[in-house]
Amino acid sequence: MHEKRIIPVILAGGEGTRLWPLSSSTLPKPFLSLHKQGVSLLEETLLRVSDSVQFAPAWVMCHARFAPLAEDILSRQASRPQLLQEQESRNTAPAIALACEHLATIHSGETLVAFLPCDHHFAEEGALAALLAKGAEAAAAGNIVLFGAPIQHAGTGYGYIRKGEKAGEAAYTMEAFIEKPDAASAEVFAASGDYLWNGGIILCRLDTMRSALAEHHPDGIPAESIDTALLQHSRNALVIPMESAWADVGSWADVWHTSRRCADGNATLGDAQLRDTSGSLIVSQTGQHITTLGVQDLVIIATDGHILIADRKQAQDIRCIAPDMHPEEG
């Protein structure tokens, strides 16, 4: 069957070790409510692709042990998304390959598929849909279309895309893809003006992705990210720069950056009272009232089992102290 609309495949994996103690081995990152009480990151992503004119019903990929959490969310969506389950978490390349093989039993090869992480934040409503609309023509022509965000700082936790010549109205050729460079290289890339952060969003035809994975990995898909397994080696990738503010919500510092903040730079979720406090993130998931006085740049997270108090500038290091999680998976 040839589906003329874009099929979203939402990758709801990753435990989110840097979002401990709210994120845990039993309640991973996709199912957390970080920006609005009662609305999980997965639900935020589903809402971005809920326009039935542009998008077919989404498929959500998650580990089988989290299927009940996902099914509860999907059952409440008017867009009728469906669930795909992994029996083993092996990273995004195997997850995408599994989704492609399933979709190939239903849809024709020229069907457009958008592979989407569910831990992103867009400042503007409709920004993701507009981006995918920009890339549809190039993807339909057989290209793997990526989307790049302006570099905000020389971070080593991002993939970097070097854009080349214009390739149509909105796209550029991809000259190079460097996944998580060292600090010195990241400084060079950020200063050059020729690079974008990889936004983690892929738009392509179903047969384009299947052929690319088969070409680079004829003996089976490795347990790697799609970035290292495929994108670093791709010869037909294009990149479209993002115009709307975008963030990868991977740490409590990212949650603070992407949340609505008061004049003093504070963001709260739950019951909190702040005095003489600035630049802080306060999250209470227990119903307990949190009061602060005379502090700045803190992250305070209260759950039923733990209370975290940390310097916001050290938010990336929280994975090192998470007691019941696995840093290699976050």
* CATH code, 71: 3.90.550.10
Taking only the tens place, the pLDDT of each residue in 43-61 is 999 999 999 999 999 999 9
Domain annotation covers residue 149? yes
- Could you give the number of structural domains in the chain? 2
- Within this chain, do residues 125 and 178 fall inside the same structural domain, yes or no? yes
Pair 207, 103: CB distance under 8 Å: no
User: How far from each other are the two terminal CA atoms of the chain, in whole angstroms?
Assistant: 37
pLDDT at 264 over 80: yes
- Within this chain, do residues 256 and 243 fall inside the same structural domain, yes or no? no
- Within this chain, do residues 154 and 208 fall inside the same structural domain, yes or no? yes
Give pLDDT, residue 324: 56
Share of the chain above pLDDT 90, in %: 79
| pTM for the full predicted model | 0.91
What's the rounded Cα separation, in Å, for the pair 315 and 311?
7
Give pLDDT, residue 229: 95
Compute the C-alpha angle 295/298/304, nearest 5°. 115
Question: Which range marks the domain in which residue 56 is found?
Answer: 7-248
Taking only the tens place, the pLDDT of each residue in 166-223 is 998 899 999 999 988 999 999 999 999 999 999 999 999 999 999 999 999 999 999 9
